[in-house]
Amino acid sequence: MRPMFPGQTYTRVLVDLYVTSIVEVFEKEQRLSTQVKMITVWFDSNVLWNSYKFCQILTIAAPRNLFWRPDIVIAESVKTEIGTVESSYVQLVFFGYVVLPEVLSLNTVCKLNLYRFPFDTQSCNITIQSVAYSNVDLKLETLHDTGVLTNSSKQSFQSQGEWELLNISTSKSKVFLMFGYADQLIYQITIKRRPLLHVINIILPVFFFLVLDVTSYFIDTDGADKLSFKVTLLLAISVLLLILNDTLPSTTYELPLIGIYCSAIFSLIGISILETILVNFLRAKGAKILSASAAVTGQDDGVSGPPVDQDRDQKEFQIAMWWIKVARITDMMFLILYLLTIVVFLSVLGKVWYIH
């Protein structure tokens, strides 16, 4: 049944896996949808013939169901579909090899680490193994080496989508079946996200809102307009949170940096609104005392008040001025602190995010 090389008790199965397209990466479901081309080759001593004798025939196509076939499956697969209408033939090569080319639509589980989204690089495994044969019976090996695979995959890579194929590497492993081990061929596919549109849609606008918030310190009219300006910025970030919510799943132990970025800037603008309210409150307190004292002075206008009254006036004026001064200093101090926080926050974030 199971074909072997003469003098061997095991069957060598050679596998080649080319990634022809990254169809989609589902961040929310932690899945990867790929189109791969898998070529499985094994030795069958029944298909040996002398090509010199038989009109130089090197290969023959033969119906698939006449031959034994290894039960190769993909361990991470959630759904494996034949990409095209299934061919019902295998290719036989004169020196005893059976070649089975397949185009598969794979839907595999993959640990996606979105910590550095959208500047992330993901590594997904596609593990090929036999379900029922232990490695005593069936030995899995790669047909071509990694360099060839990566090159061929890159060449036939048919997508200009969000992901760039960086590398395909292979390694061998073993998995415990009931009574014995089975060979595993692990193809590690490394892909890199092209971040430009996410940068333009989220990171840049949010950053711009932060810059606008900082410059709003120089709005020198009364505080109310400043407030409505700032609260509109907050509203605009809320709108952009809708995009973030569409893009990102609630995942991973660590919060994605883009989440920290958005919510930190949201909080910063929020805090700066609180500060504006505080400064206005202080200023208003000063202004109130001032106007009250002015009113008193105004009332006493005709009659020259006693010097004691003038002293009190002076004192009140000083208190008012003190309030206004406190407001100004608070404002100044906050601005410096605010700028410092922003610089430190952004530089640390930038380092972790991009350079790392």
The 10 Å Cβ neighbour count of residue 301 is 9
Q: How many residues bind a copy of itself (CB under 8 A)?
A: 136
Is residue 296 a contact point for a copy of itself (CB under 8 A)? no
The distance of Cα 352 from the centroid of its chain, to the nearest Å, equals 14
Residue span 211-250 as binding mask against a copy of itself, x where in contact by CB under 8 A, dash where not: xx--xx-xxxxxxxx-xxx-xxxxxx-xxxxxxxxxxxxx
Round to whole Å and give the CA distance between 216 and 229: 8
Q: Which residues in the 61-120 window bind a copy of itself by CB under 8 A?
A: 61-62, 71-85, 87-91, 93-94, 97, 99, 101, 103-105, 109-113, 118
Question: CB within 8 A of 57, min separation 6: which ones?
Answer: 49, 51, 94
What torsion, rounded to 10 degrees, do the Cα atoms 220, 221, 223, 224 define? -140
Q: Name which of 150 and 230 has its Cβ closer to a copy of itself.
A: 230
Sites for a copy of itself among residues 20-49 (CB under 8 A): 20-21, 23-24, 28-31, 33, 35, 39, 41
Site for a copy of itself in 124-143 (CB under 8 A): 130-134, 136-137
Smallest gap from residue 223 Cβ to a copy of itself (A): 7
Burial code of 72-105, b = ≥16 C-beta within 10 A, e = fewer?
bebebeeeeeebeeeeeebbbbbebbbbbebbbb
Smallest separation (angstroms) from a copy of itself to the CB of 316: 18
Cα 209 to Cα 269: distance, rounded to the nearest angstrom: 9
| Residues 264-283 interacting with a copy of itself (rule: CB under 8 A) | 266-267, 270, 273-274, 277-278, 280-281
**3-class DSSP state of 213:** helix
- CB of residue 225 vs a copy of itself: minimum separation in angstroms? 3
In the complex, minimum distance from the CB of residue 157 to a copy of itself, in angstroms, rounded to a whole number: 9
Shortest distance in whole angstroms from residue 181 CB to a copy of itself: 11
CB of 52 or CB of 218, closer to a copy of itself: 218
Cα 130–Cα 126–Cα 163 angle in degrees, nearest 5:
160
Give the footprint of a copy of itself on residues 167-206 (CB under 8 A): 177-180, 193-198, 200-201, 204-205
In the complex, the smallest distance separating the C-beta of residue 141 from a copy of itself, rounded to whole angstroms, is: 16
Who contacts 196 (Cβ-Cβ below 8 Å, separation ≥6)? Answer: none
Which C-beta is closer to a copy of itself: that of 180 or that of 350? 180
CB atoms within 10 A of CB 292: 12
Site for a copy of itself in 306-345 (CB under 8 A): none
Residue number with CB closer to a copy of itself (29 or 316): 29
Query: What DSSP character marks residue 203?
Result: I
* Cβ 163 to a copy of itself shortest distance, Å: 9
By beta-carbon proximity to a copy of itself, the closer residue of 166 and 219 is 219
Q: Are 6 and 44 in contact (CB under 8 A)?
A: no
Select 60 or 346, whichever has its Cβ closest to a copy of itself: 60
Based on C-alpha coordinates, what's the Rg of the chain? 36
Spatial separation of the C-alpha atoms in residues 53 and 100, rounded to whole Å: 25
Choose between 208 and 322: whose C-beta lies nearer to a copy of itself.
208
The nearest distance, CB 10 to a copy of itself, in angstroms, is 12
Rounded to the nearest whole angstrom, what is the least distance from the CB of residue 352 to a copy of itself in the complex?
Answer: 17
Nearest of 74, 69, 190 to residue 122 by alpha carbon: 190
Tokens of 90: 């295998």
